[in-house]
């Protein structure tokens, strides 16, 4: 019997088959869980419907994937429509994976202090506030116990050059996780975040993560980087009843990198003084 046998939930934020959200969703479905998926709304002039097609390509052939609908997380009406679909399909749900963040490239590429006011507001709304909006809309159909999981990154805790404004958004997201965990705790709804090391994803390419994987290999205690499968298993654990005693936590899956206070073994690569 799989860990998610009889469990149902939402996967919000798969972009393509390299997404961390997809790695988590696969683990859930392999363990018997039923999932409803959302995708970014396609532009009216996009005849190829690229956003829909990318996610559909992932879930095609999976009986456990029960629906795929568009969602603009900046729209309360869109969020409500997704919850209505979930209620019609599942009745109640046991988990929600929130894996959504966005900032314009112009605001990401410039020094953090030069990001635009409008760009900052948009990035914060999509990357941080959206967790609160989703949690509020989902609480009425979530079981006791159930779990919400958000995706974050170490750049929300420490300065990571190149991550820039998104680091501020992730810091806000992590605070939102803790406060949502308090608000929903008495209903048996847990809220946690998973902080993954660098992986080859669309999001990583947007924030200029070139060279980060190699750096982690030299600095992290395990002497290597992580895999999509490792993050997928940990994400599934946090969404399962195996982690029922955990809430308001930020769990790192980064081969121990976040614990280092010096470059560690990377110092061996420097020339002798």
pLDDT per residue as tens digits for the range 66-106: 999 999 999 999 999 999 999 999 999 999 999 999 999 99
Q: What pTM was estimated for this model as a whole? A: 0.94
d(CA 240, CA 24) in angstroms, rounded, equals 11
Q: How confident is the model at residue 45 (pLDDT cuts 50, 70, 90)?
A: confident
CA–CA distance, 50 with 231 (Å, rounded to integer): 26
- The verdict on whether 182 is a catalytic residue reads no
**Rounded to 5 degrees, what are φ and ψ at 241?**
-75, -5
Q: H or E element: which one contains 50?
A: helix 50-59
pLDDT, tens digit, for every residue of 117-135? 999 999 999 999 999 999 9
Q: Which residues of 149-162 are buried (b: 16+ CB within 10 A; e: fewer)?
A: bbbbbbbbbeebee
Edge-to-edge strand ranges of the sheet holding 250-253: 65-70, 34-39, 8-12, 93-98, 142-152, 189-196, 250-253
Q: What CATH code is assigned to 8-269?
A: 3.40.50.720
- CA-to-CA distance for 132 and 86, rounded, in angstroms? 18
- Could you report the per-residue pLDDT of 214-268, keeping only the tens digit for each? 889 999 999 999 999 999 999 999 999 999 999 999 999 999 999 999 998 888 8
- Mean pLDDT over 23-49 rounds to 92
Farthest CA pair distance, the chain: 67
> Could you confirm whether 129 is annotated as catalytic?
no
Active-site choice (163, 179, 182, 257): 163
Rounded to an integer, what distance in angstroms lies between the CA atom of residue 252 and that of residue 234?
A: 9
Query: Is the pLDDT at 208 greater than 60, yes or no?
Result: no
3-class SS at 83? helix
Mean pLDDT of all residues in the chain?
Answer: 94
Q: Which of 129, 153, 179, 216 is catalytic?
A: 153
């Amino acid at each position: 019997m799989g860990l998610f046998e009889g469990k149902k939930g939402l996967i919000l934020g798969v972009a393509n088959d390299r997404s961390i959200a997809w790695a988590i969703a696969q683990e859930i479905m392999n363990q018997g869980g039923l999932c409803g998926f959302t995708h970014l709304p396609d532009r009216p002039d996009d005849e190829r419907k690229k956003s829909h097609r990318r996610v559909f390509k992932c879930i095609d052939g999976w009986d456990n994937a029960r629906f795929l609908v568009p969602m603009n997380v900046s729209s309360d009406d869109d969020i409500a429509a997704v919850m209505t679909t979930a209620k019609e399909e599942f009745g109640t749900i046991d988990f929600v994976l929130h894996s959504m963040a966005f900032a314009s490239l112009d605001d990401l590429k410039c020094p953090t202090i030069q990001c635009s006011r409008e760009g900052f507001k948009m990035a914060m709304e999509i990357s941080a506030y959206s967790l609160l909006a989703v949690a509020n809309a989902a609480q009425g159909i979530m079981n006791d116990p159930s779990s919400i999981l958000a995706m974050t990154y170490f750049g929300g805790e420490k300065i990571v050059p190149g991550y820039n404004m998104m680091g501020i958004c992730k810091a806000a997201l992590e605070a939102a996780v803790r406060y949502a965990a308090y608000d929903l705790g008495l209903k048996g709804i847990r809220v946690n975040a998973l902080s993954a090391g660098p992986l080859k994803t669309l999001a990583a390419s947007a924030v200029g993560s070139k060279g980060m994987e190699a750096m982690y290999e030299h600095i992290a205690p395990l002497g290597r980087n992580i895999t999509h499968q490792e993050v997928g298993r940990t994400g599934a654990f946090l969404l399962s009843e195996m982690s029922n005693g955990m809430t308001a936590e930020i769990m790192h899956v980064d081969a121990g990198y976040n614990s280092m206070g010096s470059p560690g073994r990377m110092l061996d690569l420097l020339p002798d003084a």
